[in-house]
Chain A
């Protein structure tokens, strides 16, 4: 019993300490985003990597989610003769919820892992120390551009994902469930509000920041050797995914009017 309480206490303390370290790390990195010198090339490289090369993954994920969503909501709503709402349900779920969360989780796997592995490798091969000796602040050179790129690119990805997801729903709605195309489209737009899209994009920006932060933080503090880098990569993906789900709830609450 005593040991149990002690364990809880220690876990809580460790958690608080980690929270403090990560906050300090992100404050430092964000400050360097706005301080010269600006590393444009680094930023551009990250934007291409995150924004452009994640498009296929995000597109496929949202396409099939939109498709399955149309089928499932049809099944549900047909039970009380409300099939007409399928288009609305699809567009609201995709823009408010599925688009950002699915894109966030997919990008966490792709980008969070690669950032942690790349920066972790730089740590264990002394490349981060080498940056210091070459009068370049490692956090400013490596972390700041990644955080900025993550925060900018995710909303863009989600916007594209939203369109593709809604299109997936449309395909199923029209070709499988037999809706009239123009009516389906009209229903899609009828109840959609700007705030639905904004909510999704705000979420996306937050997720993008968290993914990059976790990738960079775990990579930067990677343990020694290949094992250290492996652990950093796993931790980055797992912690980014969990934080995305937590942040998703928090942001939704903040925008909730009920």
Chain B
């Protein structure tokens, strides 16, 4: 491919004390591509995602956005970079002390002088797109169900149309219909806004809908990456087991070896 990848990781490693989570991640995402990262629980998907916008600094390796190295660039460069990203967290991470509209328009209000009624309009418009009632904007996060919080978090990430969107398990904990709405939105973000998206998901039906490319993390490395259509016949036993949700296979056998490391960190 001649075009510069939107995101390019090489040999990215990250350890927390003795827990070697990422052991050399190599991965590229093309502009306006939708990448989905899969992998068993605790394999480091969330950590990998947080490396992309500098929330976690890798121990080693290189991360390039539009061909520009982002590691070791200093605070100001990192702040500029983050403006181009939108992100949702696995557990929502809404600001408890702020109402829904204040949450959704947080960056807009702080970056540009936006008056209150405009901000509320924008918030209402964005959350209705996600199937929530506009009246929700005056409530507080604690008053909403988990699934509603997830959608508000999504609204907060997409409201100012960033070029790169990171979604950490956007559909987990949602009913299938709402899950479908979210999938549609991720597809839209790419098709209409031209965003590049990286999504972590365990939901194989959703993966099939939204992914152009799929990458599987296992034991700290990408054991397989390829077009979504090729996922079924990857030839990698771990991928096969994961994609088909089989109880028996290479992933199951490694459980005892993996758990002591997890216990040590908690």
Contacts and interface: CB of A to CB of B under 8 A. Distances in A.
A136 B93 contact: no
A135 B83 contact: yes
A88 to B, nearest CB: 47
A87 B94 CA distance: 54
A133 interface: yes
Interface residues of A, number: 17
A129 interface: yes
Contacts of A225: 266
Interface string B2-18: 00000000000000000
B140 interface: no
Given A126-B89, A126-B91, A127-B95, A134 B107 contact: yes
Interface string B43-87: 000000010011100000000000000000000000100110111
Contacts of B79: 135, 137
Contacts of B107: 134-136
A127 B95 CA distance: 6
Interface in A121-146: 121-122, 125-127, 129-130, 132-137
A118 B96 CA distance: 10
Contacts of A9: none
Given A135-B79, A135-B83, A130 B110 contact: no
A121 B53 CA distance: 22
B246 to A, nearest CB: 32
A134 B166 CA distance: 13
Contacts of A20: none
Contact of A125 (B53, B85, B93): B93
Contact of A135 (B50, B91, B96, B111): B111
Contacts of A129: 50, 55, 89, 93
B156 interface: yes
Given A127-B96, A130-B89, A133-B87, 9 more contacts: A37-B110, A129-B89, A130-B87, A130-B95, A132-B54, A133-B85, A135-B79, A135-B107, A137-B79
